[in-house]
Structures are given as structure tokens and as C-alpha cells.
Chains A and B, each alone.
Chain A
Amino acid sequence: MAQRDGPTGTPPAHAFGDFVRKLPMPVAVFDRELRYIAYSESWLEAYRLRHSDLVGRHHYEVFPEIGEEWKRVHRECLAGATVSREIDLFLRADGSTDYLRWTITPWHEPDGRIGGVVMYTEVISDLVLLARRLEEREDFIRMLFERSPIGLNLCRLDGLWLESNPAFLDIIGYTREEADGGLTYWDLTPKHYDDEERRQLESLERTGRYGPYEKEFIRKDGSLVPVRLSGFLVEREGERYIWSLIEDLTEHRKLERTAERERMKAIHASKLATLGEMAAGMAHELNNPLTIIDGYAGMLEELARAGDQERLEQAVASIRDATRRATRIVSGLRKFAREDDGERTRDVLLRDLVEDALQLCRTRIQNHGVALRASVETAVHVRCHDVDITQVLINLLNNGFHAALQGREAWVAIEARHDGRFAEVRVRDSGPGIPAEDRERIFQPFFTTKKAGEGTGLGLSISRSIVERLGGSLALDAEAPETCFVVRLPVVGEDP
């Protein structure tokens, strides 16, 4: 090797001790007997040593707590080995513990013989504690994940499932091994959700979030489970994932169905109560045609015998007429009383609904000397289950009728109109009015001002629920000079 300009002088021997003392890590140099030759300041600090001068002292004298295992390592290193540990526990004589990372390696005399060892050490207690805290924290978060009653799931953008918590596995009915073994979102999504899925993915791309939206998953056993999903995009190491929250709606749906059945039952019961209330008037309406039929029928034989063709035809026509009338009354009742079979709503001419209601209570109202005024000129359609709205209107007409009987004038008026978006039916009466303190209570279930047996007190509360379910409202118009109930329903169309 070519001789080049060397360093400006070799450090004198005493500089070696100075050099080691200033090393910014706990380092010590020992002779073959493990007596200190040199050590860093950092060595004193790291091991909390109060001795100011260790040189010449034996390592085991300075650290009496050093155990057999380390002593064995020291012997191996003095025999030429280099040994390292990434983490090692050092139990100190004062009862404290330190975590160390160390390397012990021999140093050699110029003649090649081993002169002793160097110990490079690092106290890593803080790091170890930090790592342990992180681990505990991760365990804690994992526990939250594992025990969350809501399904949690991480999947890739292509739908491959990466992480599922037990609640989610429960919902879909797969084991963890099955779910982690290549199952994807799409395997469990019924085909007919494709459009909705696309919308949710668009939302995810656009806003970074999706849902909440409701769908079904196909469980392992093939059954469908209703769920509500929501989630957001997360990014980790440059890769994007979807983090989802999945709620099982099975119980919720069951409750909804029960509530819906109860609602149907309540509507039906209220309908029957309305019918009961109207039965007397109905009987009256049926009895007239029946009397007429009986009257003419009794004449038929005699007219036939007498050959009075003209009067015979007249009698038959009258019987037919009366029969038609009775039939109309009965079919009106049947249509109204029929148990609701969960039939869907349809578009109905508002005018027809009002006519149906009037058909069922006109005679009763008029026969009690109460005038009935109807003005229904709109040709708008509303979407509803027709009998339900008929029931609402009959209830209002009946209430108006009862009230009108108490006033000096006696009239009930029903008017229908619309403002383009909403159709409005107003039912007014000449009764004494509703006291201010009762104006909200009248819409509560079982509130009634009628005598026992005259009303169930369910009419207005059920009527309101029927109308609100259709996106409409039922309210008392406090501004009107008379008692005036207003039913509003969204308009879905108009006849030309």
C-alpha cells in the first residue's frame, strides 16, 4: 500500500482514556481479569454508579448482582467470542430493573493475544416500556374491536375481507378462518343490490364515506340477514381500504313488524268502532229499501193474476231499484270493514274518497236534522290506502256531527281543495268548539269527550297516524272561526 500523509500524530496513550470517557454511550474496556481499563461517563450515568474512579477495580466488585449466566458470557468472550443481546433484563442489587441491549467483544494485544473485552451497552428501559404500553394499548383496542356489539370489518377496495370482528362473523354466520380465507363482500351480496352498491361506491369515491344504508347479506346457511352499513375510506401504507360498521337489523325488523301489526290491528279496531257507531244509521238506510221490496213483492202475485202488466213492471222496477240501493249500502260497508290485508297504497281520486265517506254517513247526519254541506271540486289524486282515508274522513264527519248536535245551528261541512303540492280536506261543524286546553290532547289515544259507549277515543290519534304515514298531516285549524279539522295529503297527480 502506498504511503500517504498520515494523521497528524498518533494520540498519546492517555488520550485513549479520554476518548473512551467521552463516548456518548455506556461503554467499558476491561483487561483479561475483567478489571476496568477505561469507561465512558455515560456508563456511570446509565448504571447510576457513584464511584468516580473505576479503573483497576473488578467488574464483579462494581456489580455484585451480576449472575452466573453473564459470567459465562464473559468467559466466552475472553476466549474470543463476540456476544450480543437485543433485549436483556438486568436485575440490580437495589431492586430496580433495567432493560439492556449489549455487545461484548474481545480486544487484542499487538501480538494477537486477547487483552480483555469491551462492553458496548445501551439502557433501553424507556423503549421497552414504551413498546409495552403500545402493546397494551393495541390489546385494548383489539379488545374493543373483538367485543364490539356492532359488526366491524376492514376490506380492500375490491371487497376482499381482511379483518372481521366476532359480531360481524355472527351476522354472516362464517367462522374467522372462513371469512379470512378469501371471502369477499360480493360473495355475500344479493345481485339485486347492484345498483344501490354502485351508488354507495360512488359516494365513497366522492366523499370518502358511504351509508348508512340498508341491505341484506347472504349468510353461510343461505338465509338473508337485514343489515345497516356505513363506513369510510382509510389509508395505510399507501393502500386504501374500506372500514365498515355493520348493524344486524333482524331484531329491529321484528319489532317493526310487530309494531306494524299492532298498528293494523288498532286501525281495524277503530274502524269497527266507527262501524258500530254508525250501525244504527246503517240499519235505517237498509230498512227502507227492505220495506219497499217487501211491499212490492207482496203485490206481485196479485198483479200477475190480474194481468196488470203495467203495474207489474212498475213493481219489479221498484224492487230492483230498492235492491240496488241496499246492495250499495252493504258493499260500502263491506269495503270499509274488510280487514286490511297489508294492501299497498294506490293513487285515488280525492273526490271518490270524500264520496265514499259521505255515502256511509250522509243519511245518519241528515236524519238527525243536521245539514251536510259538501263541496268537492278538485280532481287531484292522492296516494293512499283508500279505505284508511275514508275512515279518517268518516271519523271527522262523525265528530263534527256529534258536535253539531250540541250547537244552536246544526251543520257539518266538508270541503276539498288543493294548492298543487298538497290536497286539503277541511271538515267544519257548527258545534260549540274545542276548548283551548284540549286542542292537543284530542290527538292523544283514548282522549274523548263523548259519553261512554259513544266513542273509543282512538279516532283522532289513529287518523293522525294514518295520514302522517302517507306524508300528510291532520291538524286543527286554530285560526278558523268554527271547529275545523284539516287533512293534508301530498298530491300525486291531477285529472285533466
Chain B
Amino acid sequence: MKPAVVYIDDELALCRIVRWRLEAAGLAVETFTDPESAIAWVQDHDVRCVLCDYRMPAMNGFQVLERLDERIPFYLVTGDLAVGGELSDRTRVRGVIQKPFSFDELVALLRGLD
């Protein structure tokens, strides 16, 4: 099985379209609205990268990052206006994906990870 892209976002509708689009692009993808389940799933599976929303009610993106294996590429997804380069500077965030993002660009980015 191909390593999966893990997408974490508290909004179900977003998870659904992400799954749909990435699968349509031939990528393996798992989506989670609950960060705890995502963290548990990542521990037992082969993961290509984690895309994680920053602001979520239960836990923010950084808190998720702290509980993940350092070797897994981590992308922060955010709709905030002010969050930018500073985040990736002070953490091991691989990149910040600003919402609204282009799915074509996202697919290109994920394909380039191989």
C-alpha cells in the first residue's frame, strides 16, 4: 500500500473534498476531524505527510505536531491572515498552506514529496 497523506481538519465538509480530490489524483489519503484519532492512526501506518489545520477546538496544529514522529513531513494548513513564515521558522513545520488553497497546487506539492 502506498504511504498515505493524512489530512486533519475539524470541518467534515473540507475533509470530504480533500479526500475526493486527492484520491482522484491517485494519492492515498486519510482524513480526520478529530486530532486524537489522527495521532493514533499515524503511529500504526505508513505516512507520506501530515497536513493539519492550525485552529481546531480541541487542539491546535502545533499541539498535534508535538505528538508526531519528527521524521514525518508536517504541513500546517491555516485560514488565518497573520500566520505566515514565522511559524515555519520556529518549528519544524515543513510549510504553511494558506486557505483557500488550490487543489492543483496541493496535488503538485504532494507528488513532489516522493
Alpha-carbon distance between A368 and B63 when the two chains are bound, in angstroms: 12
**Interface SS of chain A:** helix
Interchain CB contact under 8 A, A295 and B103:
yes
Q: Does A367 interact with chain B (Cβ within 8 Å)?
A: yes
**B36-44, B64-72, B75-83, B84-92: which lies at the interface:** B75-83
Q: Does B14 interact with chain A (Cβ within 8 Å)?
A: yes
Chain A positions within 8 Å of B82 at CB level: 280
Chain A positions within 8 Å of B56 at CB level: 367
Chain B positions within 8 Å of A302 at CB level: 24
Interchain CB contact under 8 A, A294 and B102:
yes
Alpha-carbon distance between A294 and B102 when the two chains are bound, in angstroms: 7
Expressed in whole angstroms, the minimum distance between the Cβ of B27 and any Cβ of chain A is: 14
Size band of the interface chain A makes with B: 20 to 34
Contact among A298, A318, A367 with B57 in the assembled complex (CB-CB below 8 Å): A367
A288-B99 contact, Cβ under 8 Å, with A298-B104, A299-B21, A318-B13: yes
Interchain CB contact under 8 A, A369 and B59:
yes
Q: Does B112 interact with chain A (Cβ within 8 Å)?
A: no
Chain A positions within 8 Å of B110 at CB level: none
Q: Does A142 interact with chain B (Cβ within 8 Å)?
A: no
Expressed in whole angstroms, the minimum distance between the Cβ of B8 and any Cβ of chain A is: 14
Alpha-carbon distance between A45 and B78 when the two chains are bound, in angstroms: 116
Contact among B20, B57, B59 with A299 in the assembled complex (CB-CB below 8 Å): B20
Interchain CB contact under 8 A, B103 and A294:
yes
Q: Does B17 interact with chain A (Cβ within 8 Å)?
A: yes
Q: Does A290 interact with chain B (Cβ within 8 Å)?
A: yes
Interchain CB contact under 8 A, A291 and B81:
no
Q: Which residue of A lies closest to B60 (CB)?
A: A369
Q: Which residue of A lies closest to B83 (CB)?
A: A280
Q: Which residue of B lies closest to A363 (CB)?
A: B55
Interface size counted on chain B using CB atoms at 8 A = 27
Q: Does A120 interact with chain B (Cβ within 8 Å)?
A: no
Interchain CB contact under 8 A, B101 and A291:
yes
Within 8 A of B (CB), among A301-347: 302, 318, 321-322
Contact among A291, A366, A367 with B99 in the assembled complex (CB-CB below 8 Å): A291
Q: Which residue of A lies closest to B82 (CB)?
A: A280
Contact among B58, B81, B98, B100 with A294 in the assembled complex (CB-CB below 8 Å): B100
Interchain CB contact under 8 A, B80 and A284:
yes
Interchain CB contact under 8 A, A292 and B13:
yes
Q: Which residue of B lies closest to A298 (CB)?
A: B103
Chain B positions within 8 Å of A288 at CB level: 11, 13-14, 79, 99
Q: Does A157 interact with chain B (Cβ within 8 Å)?
A: no
Chain B positions within 8 Å of A322 at CB level: 13
Chain A positions within 8 Å of B13 at CB level: 288, 292, 318, 321-322
Q: Does A296 interact with chain B (Cβ within 8 Å)?
A: yes
Contact among A295, A299, A321, A368 with B55 in the assembled complex (CB-CB below 8 Å): A368
Contact among A286, A293, A295 with B79 in the assembled complex (CB-CB below 8 Å): A286
Interchain CB contact under 8 A, A284 and B58:
no
Alpha-carbon distance between A361 and B14 when the two chains are bound, in angstroms: 21
Alpha-carbon distance between A335 and B11 when the two chains are bound, in angstroms: 26
Alpha-carbon distance between A491 and B87 when the two chains are bound, in angstroms: 49
Q: Does A283 interact with chain B (Cβ within 8 Å)?
A: yes
Q: Which residue of A lies closest to B55 (CB)?
A: A367
Q: Does A79 interact with chain B (Cβ within 8 Å)?
A: no
Q: Which residue of A lies closest to B58 (CB)?
A: A369
Q: Does A279 interact with chain B (Cβ within 8 Å)?
A: yes
Alpha-carbon distance between A295 and B56 when the two chains are bound, in angstroms: 21
Expressed in whole angstroms, the minimum distance between the Cβ of B61 and any Cβ of chain A is: 11
A299-B24 contact, Cβ under 8 Å, with A280-B82, A283-B80: yes
Q: Does B93 interact with chain A (Cβ within 8 Å)?
A: no
Chain B positions within 8 Å of A250 at CB level: none
A295-B58 contact, Cβ under 8 Å, with A287-B99, A288-B11: no
Question: Per-residue 0/1 for A215-255: is the Cβ within 8 Å of any B Cβ (1 yes, 0 no)?
Answer: 00000000000000000000000000000000000000000
Alpha-carbon distance between A296 and B17 when the two chains are bound, in angstroms: 7
Interface of B toward A, CB cutoff 8 Å: 11, 13-14, 16-18, 20-21, 24, 55-60, 78-82, 98-104
Task: Give me 15 other A-B pairs in contact (C-beta within 8 A), A279-B81, A291-B79, A367-B57 excluded.
Answer: A280-B81, A280-B82, A285-B79, A286-B79, A287-B98, A291-B99, A291-B100, A292-B14, A293-B100, A295-B17, A296-B17, A298-B103, A298-B104, A299-B21, A369-B60
The 5 A-B residue pairs whose C-beta atoms are closest, nearest first, are A287-B79, A367-B55, A287-B99, A295-B17, A290-B100
Q: List 10 A-B contacts (CB under 8 A).
A: A283-B81, A284-B78, A286-B79, A287-B99, A288-B13, A290-B100, A292-B13, A295-B17, A302-B24, A367-B56
Interface of A toward B, CB cutoff 8 Å: 279-280, 283-288, 290-296, 298-299, 302, 318, 321-322, 366-369
